[in-house]
Amino acid sequence: MSKHVGAKTRTILLVEDNPDHAELIVRGLMDHQVASRIFHVRDGETALDYLFRRSEYRDPERSPSPHLILLDLRLPRIDGLEVLKQIKAREDLRPIPVVILTTSEAEKDVELAYDHHVNSCLVKPRGFDDLTRMMGDLGRYRLGWNHLPRSC
């Protein structure tokens, strides 16, 4: 992984079931050098295992707490809204910014995400260049320019 624009090592948890989307998102983040580590999981259940330190994710050295969570809405096993609800229900996870990345433009999805305290909701652009630019801007804002509490 590449160096982050800031002084600290920054970790992103990407929760995305579509391998093509995941690859484009990771490339976009890496091209703009916004994170030192990106951990990718493919479903909501695995995301919660990672965040709650269950199963293979018990060791914080191998699965560090993320500074940002990029979360798809439509996921197998446990959907993105349920993952979001469980993240924001836990005091230790609540401060971590969660950004929904979705192909859905349905207003109901956006409303539900904000009802469950998502930090941002972004519709994935269709083109590679637009997605790359979006990931660079998002990463610089959330991990570089944005001032986070020390707990994050």
CATH superfamily, domain 11-145, is Response regulator (3.40.50.2300)
Q: Residues 40-70: pLDDT tens digits?
A: 999 999 999 999 999 999 999 889 999 999 9
pLDDT band at 8 (very low <50, low <70, confident <90, very high): low
Q: Which residues on adjacent β-strands are paired with residue 121?
A: 100
DSSP state string for 49-85:
HHHHT-GGG--TTTSPPPSEEEE-SS-SSS-HHHHHH
pLDDT band at 35 (very low <50, low <70, confident <90, very high): low
Does the structure show a pLDDT above 70 at 148? no
The model's pTM is 0.85
Q: Residues 9-28: pLDDT tens digits?
A: 789 999 999 998 899 888 88
Instruction: Using alpha carbons, select from 31, 95, 108, 104 the residue that is nearest to residue 68.
Output: 95
Q: Residues 113-135: pLDDT tens digits?
A: 999 999 999 888 888 888 878 88
Identify the pLDDT of residue 6. Answer: 43
Does the structure show a pLDDT above 70 at 7? no
User: What are the domain boundaries of the chain?
Assistant: 11-145
